[in-house]
Amino acid sequence: MSFFIMKMIFMKVCLILFLLSFYVSNSQELKRQASHGFTLNLVDSTTASQYRMIEAKGMTVQYVLPDSNADKAGIIHNDVILSINNIELNSFEALRHKEVKRVHGDTSVYSVLRDGKALTLKVKMVGNSKEHFEGLVFDYDSYAFDEGRVRTIFTSDGSPQKKPAILFVPGYTCFSLDNMNIHHPYRKIVYDLAQKGFLVMRAEKLGIGDSSNKQKCTEIDFNTEIDSYRKALETLYQHPETDVDNIFIFGHSLGGMEAPFIVDGFNVKGVISMGITIKYWKEYLIEMLRNQLPRLRVDYLQSEKDLKLYDNLLHQLLVNKKTPLQMITTNKDFARLLLRDFGTLDANMFLGRDIKFSQSLNDKNMIEAWLKIDTKVLSVWGESDIETLNDFSHRELVNIINSKHPENATFLELKDTDHNFLKIETIEKSYQINRGGNIGALMPTHFNHKAIDAISDWIKETISN
């Protein structure tokens, strides 16, 4: 999980491409989520004046995706959307309301202001298309969990024989793995591995994408997320293309930290873990802040003073199980830190998820979890990874595992590679690019496909041995 990424999510978001899901009933067939298909920006006082509005409310349309549901409804650039299905759009949080999210077959009603005139526009929503890519086959399915179902996507080359199978477990953020941007590193990882002859499984986080669950990803604790992925692993064993003797887990970032908890008790062939820490969550966050605050141009002296505050704040939040609201009411400096560095002062939210997620994660002994599993492990570290900060956790993980299970763990260093599998020459350059918010510009051209080659070679060698 990146401090820079969290800053980008919480502090720099002014536009949002409205691709949101809706919770459906617990049935065997999940309906496809239906995107509205426009980019929106909150109306401020300046915009309200330009539009001759009495008060600033609603959202302006910055872009309409051609042939999208919004386009079919007749929404155009510069429209002001006051409400969707009677839900007023006066905050980005309103976009997450259950009456705003739609699935295939639902109707959306937009209250629009255009050139000073009020309009009501309607459209019957069409669900998002499924993924398609030449030479690959995509099998959409789901499994029962949390009083609903979780969307799964199996990707393979379509050949009829049984295949080594990989459950891909993503990082911290609550976003959909379905129909990712063509340049997204996760999409490239999945497609590269499928083209190499593996069956690759993705499972959405709770309430994300098509998934229909009682709880959302942002509301659950660490243990619930682990239980969902353990159910996903059970489902992978049952897929007709799975070679059950050769099942692997590929965990990235938080997913790599979740991997030993997911596979505990399962007879998997191996685990790939990239971009992780083996430290307690509180210890890692303190270290992350110490390294990254000065590189975010926080004065060194101020940074040191703030770290003492953080030591107390994070202990109260993660060890004593206090809420952010309880802490910011006791010390105004706590509010300053949370707003400056994490972009939120929500009563119960921390790092974009309910505080109980971080609290339950901090309760976990990572070293104990890794020592419990007796399987081959590939510990993958990118030389330019600013999230792991250095190679300590990945090298030490190998030492820890091999101390109990000799020769089970292997260290793989990816030269000039960052947390996102992007080719970046140095960690200093990686800090510079992330600080400038330019990391997305590298995704089309800088993905390190050779990293996936190396991981694939390790999987095949593990199978052959």
Alpha-carbon gap, residue 241 to 454, rounded angstroms: 24
Distance from the Cα of residue 276 to its chain's centroid: 15
Quick one: pLDDT at residue 309? 95
Long-range CB pairs of 387-391 (<8 Å, 24+ gap) are: 387/1, 387/2, 387/3, 387/253, 387/275, 387/288, 387/419, 388/275, 388/276, 388/277, 388/419, 389/287, 389/288, 389/291
Segment 204-226 shows an average pLDDT of 95
Label residue 355 by pLDDT band (50, 70, 90).
very high
Containing H/E element for 282?
A: helix 281-292
pLDDT digits (tens, 9 = 90+) for 292-349: 888 877 899 999 999 999 999 999 999 999 999 999 999 999 999 998 888 777 889 9
Percentages (nearest 5) of helix, strand, coil residues in the chain = 35, 25, 40
Check residue 18 and give its pLDDT. Answer: 40
Q: What angle do CA 124, 125, 130 make, to 5 degrees?
A: 145
Least confident among 11-20, 125-134, 306-315, 355-364: 11-20
Q: How confident is the model at residue 407 (pLDDT cuts 50, 70, 90)?
A: very high
Taking a C-beta distance cutoff of 8 angstroms, is the pair 390, 402 a contact?
Answer: no
pTM of the model: 0.87
Residue that wins the pLDDT comparison between 49 and 178: 178
Q: What is the per-residue pLDDT across 73-111, written as a single tens digit (0 to 9) for each?
A: 999 999 999 999 999 999 887 887 878 888 999 999 999
Q: What pLDDT was estimated at residue 25?
A: 33
Predicted confidence (pLDDT) at residue 445 exceeds the cutoff of 70: yes
pLDDT of 295: 84
Interval 419-441 mean pLDDT: 91
pLDDT of residue 13: 33
What pLDDT shows up at residue 28? 60
- Could you tell me which residue, 168 or 28, shows the higher pLDDT? 168
| Residue-level pLDDT at 340 | 87
Residue 269 contacts residue 237 (beta carbons within 8 Å):
no
- CA 71 → CA 53, 61, 68, 110, 128, distances in Å? 24, 11, 5, 12, 14
* Confidence check: pLDDT of 17 > 80: no
The answer on pLDDT for 5 being more than 50 is no
**Within 13 A of 456's CA, how many CA atoms are on the CB side?**
17
